[in-house]
Structures are given as C-alpha cells and as structure tokens.
C-alpha cells in the first residue's frame, strides 16, 4: 500500500479522490457574505456562485475532494468501503492547500469541500482535516468558502475547532431510519451521527447569540409573510419524535467569543432508493431536521448502484432521478412556500405522484381553495397556486398596487400560465371557461406534465440528428 | 418623426436622452437610436447629439433624485447592453420614472417598464455568468489574464467583484470583442484601458506549458461527473455553448 501511495502523481490522486467524492451531492457555496481583505485570497457571497457544470448537469462550485479514500468502515452502499478493491490515495494537507489556492486564483472554484474516508480512526482523520484547514486559513491566507464534513465519532474538541475554520459543516444522515442504518452502515449508529449535529447546532447558536443575532438561522424572507411554516418557533404541529432517533443531550456550551462558528450553517444528505423508506418518511425526517437541528439544507442523492450486495438494489437499477426531483420540489415547498410535510403526503399516500409535481398534486386535492383572485389574494395565497413562484408572487403583489393585472400581464411577469390558469381569476374572470373539476384539471395537467417527467427519466433519449455525429461525416471535408 | 442619434457609449446615450427631452417635440414624436443609422427612413429627421459631460451629470442627478439609486444602476447596466434599441428603452422608462418616482420600479404591467426590466435582467445575468465562468491563466510574473467575448459590455460591472475577491493579485480581464481591458495591479485600484493591437496580440497567446493547473482542473472536471446521471441538456441549460469558448475545461 505504502509504495502505491508514493508512486501516485498529483493528477492521479486528484482524479481518484474527486471521483470518490462525487457521490456527495452538497456542492453549494451559499449562506455567508464575506468581503475580501488585502493580503488574503478570496471572498464569499451568500447567494453562492457556481463555477462550472459537469456532464451530468450538476454545478461545480467547490473543489469537492476526499482527504483520503482509505476507509476502515464497511458501509454497504459506499464505493470506498474497506471490502472494495480500489486504488487508495491520500492527500497531504499541503497538496490540498496549493490545489485550492491555485484553482481559486484562476477562478475555477469558489472554495473547498473536504470530506474523507475514515483513515485509521475517526480522531486521526479529523485531525488531518483540521491541519489542512488550519494551514489553508493561516499560512495560505485563504478567505474563500470551506465546507467540511464532520467525521462521526470524532472527538468533540476537533469538531469544535473545525467549526471555527469552516463556513459550513455537514454530517450525512444517509439513511433516515435506525433499521436501515443498522443494516447498511453497521459501523454507524444514529447517536454517532446526531451527536455531532447537535454539537454543531449549539456552537452555531452560541455564536449567533454572541453577535446579537437570533438563535435560529435566517430563512428566506418569504417566510416572514407566511403563517404556519415549519420554521416558526412554536410550530403548529410538532412532529412525533418517534419518526427519527431521539435527539441526544447537548454538549457543553462553547466559549466562542464572537469568533465565527460555521456561519453558513450545517446541512445533511439522505440516500433515496437504497433502502425501503417511503417519500413520506424521507420528507418527515427532512422537516424534523429543519425544526429540531435548524439545518440550513437537506440534500437527497438518488442511489446509484456501485456495489453488489444482497441487501442493496441490483447493480443495473437506474438511479431514481424523478423521485429525487420530487423530493427536492417538496423540500422547496417546505422552505419557501409554507407547506408542512403532512400537507403533501400522509401515511395513506406515502409516495409522490409520478405525473404531477407536489404543488399541483396538493392543489388538486384542495380545489375548495381555488380559484384565487390575483388582484386581491394575499401573498401566502398566491404562493399556493401552481405556476406562481416566490418571485412572481412578489412581483404581482408589488405591481397590482398601481393597476389591475390581466392574464397578459401575468405572462410577462413570469407566471407559468399553463399550470396557473386552472387556479386563478383576474378581476373575477378565468382565462378560459374552465370547469373547476378535479378529473378535468388532472387530465389537462398530466398532458402537460407527462412529457417533462419522461424527459427526466430518459435524458438525451430524443435529440436532433447531427450530420457529423450520426453519419460520421468528417468536418473540414 | 424626429430621431435623435448618438454613439454607443454611456455619455453619448445620456446626452441623447437629455437632448431629446429638452427638444420639447413631444415624447410621441421622437425616437432615440444608436449610430450608425444603416437604414434611414423617409419622413424622419435625424438629429445627431454630441456627448456633453454637463448634460450627463444632470441626467444622472435627476435619476438619483427623482427615482432612486437602484434605477440609476439599472439604467447603467441597460446602457452596457448590446441591444441597439437601448437608448429608446431607457428613455421610455424614464418617462414613467420621472412621472411616478420610485414607484415606477414596481409598475411591471407597463410595457415600457417591463421592457426596461427585461433588458436590465439580460445584462445582469450575463454579468453574473462572467463572475462564474471567467477563467484566468497564469502569465509569467504571476499575472493572471483572462479573455472574454461578452455580448454586453460587462467589464465595468464584473471588475469590482474580482477586485474584492483577488485584492492582492495582479490580474486583467480582456474583452476580445471591444479590445478593452480592466487592469488590476496588486493591492491597488483597477482601471479600464483600451489595448492597442500590439499589446493585444502579446496578451492573447496563452502560455500554459509550464502551468500544471489547467490540466489538473480538466482532470478534476472529468472525474467529478457521474456517468449514470449524464445529462448534457441540463448542462447546456446552465452553461450555454457560446460561453464555453474561453473556458479552460472545454479547451
């Protein structure tokens, strides 16, 4: 093994460790605004900045790498599990630092996303990660974005120190129920995952209180105009805590003294389709994580079969991309539109409609609330209309102050009328003579929607013929 | 119909707006246009306007005072766009702006305001794209040089961002279409300059042989994509083909 390590070039290491890290989905560089400073490199924008888009259409914002793909654990779904025969590589902290600063100077990346397999033991791994970040922030004067994974079971002091250097931290929940975690990730326990999450949450709270901010993270401004959102301090419906393992006791309070501690908040990630969880369970867990741990984001990753194992789906199973897409749509409904998980799904209907997006689906089950009058309805009512988003609802509210809006105006404002027209009136009139009937509207909407979901499941299945590629005609004669 | 024409730069456009307004010919009876006028129409009087810094500052001051600072920013970015109708679009918006004040920015149902917003959005979106997709290459002497061929004149709008981001680096961004460049010496303020052909050709040769990082980046770019999820249409949506010309990973 050692000889192999030495012979790998930097390029090979980078390829191996980027390849091993790519199944982690979080690549956002958002959540913190930081000005540049003379003498150091970089700044940060709260909106996040993408720097490229890879062939799978996912954004590349951060240099997403593992410190090492050497791992002592044997999680069934993971490509780096100890029982896999793959080439193992490990970066030195200096290598990572030069890569980050040189890439950043050329504007390739927005910062670093550092994760790692568990080398030797969690403490050693976390220490190596800490050394990397420390060098990067102090000796290399890097002022850009850093997202670091906390290693489950690592000592609390190391996690705390990592938090002072990073902008965002995350620990992957991976599987939302205890049983599937025990089955597929035998070395991890719910407690070992939730303990650091709670620890980071308390660190963030202390830091925020110490600089005079609210204890909880800022949410999108639309939430201020809505009632009954999941972020209200006293949520209307407290979820029963049995859905997710119980929150562990909080750790000792930090003495942060105003030093930024994970200012961009923490996130987590769940695998979709590796074990038998329903969409409802996933969404409930999502909501619980937002409410109980004040996470900034929950990510979903469609399970891609990498290992053969009797416990896992067969290797040729296509990744459940549509399901992942629906979950993200629902996640947005929770965070921006004031929906609750229980509005969208229930025990009886635990899966999303394949043909309709969650908001349309919800609207069709609540036709008693529609049609909504565009010139009168308040912001929260507008938000519930399919085809009207956060931006267009705000534009409607602002522009209708001066004069009445018509369908023509709505189209220009950015409302998707092909969905919205069934649910709205302008000055008391619908766009066409549309019966407000569930069966009729469903048929109409599905006709519109089917093409889109088919395209999601079969990307690039239909495309334009190309003389050069399909008939092998040489360019330049 | 009277047509006021001007050159394609900020001062000329603002002066043109001032002159058109001051002519008192009636807003309906006049139009603003960029020079050169390639297809003159019958029954139109073409009136050329010369840039005048006093008129420019008057227009800017009125926009600030009567509408808002935000409106001025939008006027500025619209003036940077590549759309030939831009002087007229700005003029039509200012009619509303001066009549209704800052409320005009919310009157999206008026076609003139809507068109103005759409133009502003086009430019700011392009500016944002260049924040994301500008690629620097390292030249001898630790100078970072980037070439772009933007549709709108985005240099003055992107430079402040990079000045904040890379304050202690020598860098320059060159607009290949307009032969202009923003130059930022280490720890100093940036400035805008015009490149003569000789400078331009000297800076256009990418000197990458001794720089390992472009290759490392390309390797990373390839390995980070997941084969089972390949989706080129999605990639093209986010990263249009015309922007890829100067991007390291697509060369």
Gap between the Cα atoms of A406 and A400, Å rounded: 10
Tell me what percent of chain A is helix, strand and coil, each rounded to the nearest 5: 40, 10, 50
Find the domain containing A439 and state its range: 358-457
CB-nearest partner of A50 from B100, B109, B132:
B132
State ipTM.
0.93
Mean pLDDT to the nearest integer, A5-15: 84
User: What gap in Å lies between CA A188 and CA A168, rounded to an integer?
Assistant: 22
pLDDT average, residue stretch A390-415: 92
For residue A475, tell me if it sits in a domain: no
CB contact under 8 A, B108 and A395: yes
Q: Per-residue pLDDT for B190 more than 80?
A: yes
What's the average model confidence in pLDDT over B216-233?
91
Asked if residue A144 has pLDDT above 80, the reply is yes
Is there a contact between A50 and B187 if contact means CB atoms under 8 Å apart? no
H helices within A139-226, ranges in order? 156-165, 178-184, 190-210
Instruction: Give yes or no for residue A241 having a pLDDT over 60.
Output: no
Query: Do residues A243 and A264 share a domain?
Result: yes
Q: Do B229 and A15 touch (CB under 8 A)?
A: no
- Per-residue pLDDT band for A27 (boundaries 50, 70, 90) equals confident
Burial A191-222 (b: 16+ CB within 10 A, else e): ebbbbbbbbbbbbbbbbbeeeeeeeebebeeb
Contacts of B9 (CB under 8 A, 6+ apart): B51
**Per-residue pLDDT tens digits for A328-344:** 999 999 999 999 999 99
Which CA distances in Å does A119 have to A80, A128, B3, B238?
11, 10, 74, 37
Q: What is the pLDDT of residue A246?
A: 44
> Does A31 map to a domain?
yes
Shared-domain flag, residues A292 and A391: no
Tell me: the pLDDT tens digits for A70-123?
A: 999 888 888 888 988 889 999 999 999 999 999 999 999 999 999 999 999 999
- The beta-carbon neighbor of B232 closest among A39, A49, A460 is A460
Q: Which residue has the higher pLDDT, A186 or A156?
A: A156
- Give B95's pLDDT tier (boundaries 50, 70, 90): very high
Same domain, A148 and A258: no
Average pLDDT over residues A404-411: 92
- Average pLDDT, integer, range B67-77: 96
User: How much is the average pLDDT of B12-22?
Assistant: 95
pTM of this structure: 0.88
Q: What is the mean pLDDT of residues B172-190?
A: 93
Q: Say which of A43, A402, A406 has its CB closest to residue B103.
A: A402
Regarding whether A161 and A177 lie in a shared domain, the answer is no
Residues A432, A371 share a domain: yes
Average confidence (pLDDT) over B153-164: 95
- Whole-number percent of chain A with pLDDT over 90: 57
CB A218 within 8 A of CB A110: no
CA A327 to chain centre: 10
Q: Could you report the per-residue pLDDT of A183-221, keeping only the tens digit for each?
A: 888 888 888 889 999 999 999 999 999 988 888 888 888
Backbone φ and ψ of A217, nearest 5°: -65, 150
For tokens 């702006």, name the residue: B97
Confidence of residue A2 (pLDDT cuts 50, 70, 90): very low
- Domain residue extents for chain B: 2-126, 134-250
pLDDT, averaged across chain B: 92
- Do A65 and A12 lie in a common domain? yes
Residue A283 and residue A236 share a domain: yes
The reply to whether A279 falls in a domain is yes
CA distances (Å), A335 to each of A133, A231, A309, A323, B155, in order? 31, 8, 36, 18, 36
Same structural domain, A291 and A224: yes
State the DSSP code for A470. Answer: H
Residue A376 located in a structural domain:
yes
- Inter-chain contact B225–A22, Cβ cutoff 8 Å? yes
Q: What's the average model confidence in pLDDT over A374-399?
A: 93
């Amino acid at each position: 093994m050692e000889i192999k390590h030495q012979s790998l070039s930097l390029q090979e290491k980078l390829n191996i460790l980027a390849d091993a890290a790519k199944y982690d989905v979080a690549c956002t560089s958002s959540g913190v605004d930081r000005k540049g400073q003379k003498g150091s490199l970089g700044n940060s924008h709260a909106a996040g900045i993408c720097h490229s888009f890879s062939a799978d259409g996912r954004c590349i914002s951060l240099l997403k790498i593992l410190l090492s793909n050497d791992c002592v654990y044997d999680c069934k779904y993971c490509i780096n599990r100890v029982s896999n025969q793959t080439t193992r590589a490990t970066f030195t902290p200096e290598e990572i630092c030069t890569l980050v600063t040189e890439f950043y100077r050329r504007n390739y990346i927005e910062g670093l996303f550092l994760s790692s397999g568990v080398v030797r033991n969690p403490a050693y791994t976390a220490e190596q990660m800490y050394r990397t970040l420390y060098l990067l922030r102090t000796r290399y004067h890097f002022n850009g974005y850093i997202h670091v994974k906390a290693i489950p079971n690592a000592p609390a002091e190391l996690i705390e120190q990592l938090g002072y250097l990073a902008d965002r931290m995350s620990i992957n929940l991976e599987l939302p129920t205890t049983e599937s975690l025990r089955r597929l990730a035998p070395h991890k326990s719910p407690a070992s995952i939730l303990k650091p999450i709670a620890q980071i949450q308390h660190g963030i709270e202390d830091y925020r209180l110490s600089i005079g901010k609210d204890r909880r993270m800022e949410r999108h401004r639309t939430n201020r105009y809505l009632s009954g959102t999941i972020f209200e301090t006293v949520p209307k419906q407290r979820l029963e805590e049995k859905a997710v393992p119980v929150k562990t006791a909080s750790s000792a309070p930090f003495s942060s003294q105003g030093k930024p501690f994970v200012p961009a908040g923490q996130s987590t990630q769940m695998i979709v389709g590796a074990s038998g969880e329903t969409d409802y369970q996933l969404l409930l867990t999502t909501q619980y994580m937002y409410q109980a741990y004040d996470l900034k984001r929950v990510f979903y990753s469609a399970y891609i079969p990498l290992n053969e194992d009797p416990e896992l789906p067969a290797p040729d199973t296509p990744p459940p991309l549509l399901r992942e897409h629906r979950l993200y749509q629902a996640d947005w409904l929770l965070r921006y539109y004031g929906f609750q998980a229980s509005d969208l799904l229930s025990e009886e209907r635990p899966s999303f409609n394949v043909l309709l997006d969650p908001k349309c689906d919800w609207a069709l089950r609540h036709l008693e609330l529609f049609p909504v009058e565009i010139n009168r309805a308040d912001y929260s009512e507008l938000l519930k209309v399919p085809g009207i988003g956060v931006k267009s609802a705000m534009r409607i509210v602002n522009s209708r102050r001066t004069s009445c809006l018509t369908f023509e105006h709505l189209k220009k404002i950015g409302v998707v009328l092909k969905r919205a027209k069934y649910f709205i009136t302008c000055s008391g009139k619908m766009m066409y003579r549309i019966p407000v009937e569930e069966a009729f509207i469903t048929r109409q909407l599905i006709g519109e929607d089917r093409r889109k979901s088919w395209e999601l499941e079969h990307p690039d299945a239909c495309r334009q013929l190309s003389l050069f590629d399909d008939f092998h005609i040489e360019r330049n004669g | 119909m009277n047509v006021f024409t001007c050159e394609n730069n900020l001062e000329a456009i603002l002066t043109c707006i001032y002159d058109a307004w001051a002519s008192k010919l009636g807003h309906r009876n006049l139009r603003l246009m960029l020079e050169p006028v390639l297809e003159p129409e019958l029954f139109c009087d073409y009136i050329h306007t010369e840039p005048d810094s006093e008129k420019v500052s008057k227009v800017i001051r009125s926009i600030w005072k009567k509408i808002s600072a935000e409106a001025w920013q939008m006027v500025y970015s619209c003036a940077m766009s590549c759309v030939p109708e831009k002087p007229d679009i700005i003029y039509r918006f200012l009619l509303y702006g001066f009549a209704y004040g800052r409320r005009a920015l919310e009157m999206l149902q008026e076609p003139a305001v809507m068109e103005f917003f759409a133009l502003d959005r086009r430019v700011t979106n392009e500016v944002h794209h260049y924040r994301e997709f500008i690629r620097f290459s390292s030249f001898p002497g630790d100078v970072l040089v980037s070439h772009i061929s933007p549709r709108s004149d985005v240099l003055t709008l992107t430079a402040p961002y990079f000045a904040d981001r890379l304050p202690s680096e020598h860098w320059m961004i060159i607009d290949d279409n307009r032969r202009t460049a923003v130059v930022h010496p280490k720890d100093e303020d940036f400035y805008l300059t015009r490149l003569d052909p000789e400078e331009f050709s000297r800076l256009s040769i990418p000197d990458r042989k001794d720089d390992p990082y472009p290759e490392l980046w390309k390797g990373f770019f390839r390995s980070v994509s997941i084969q089972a999820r390949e989706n080129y249409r999605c990639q093209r949506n986010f990263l249009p083909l015309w922007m890829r010309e100067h991007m390291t990973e697509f060369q």
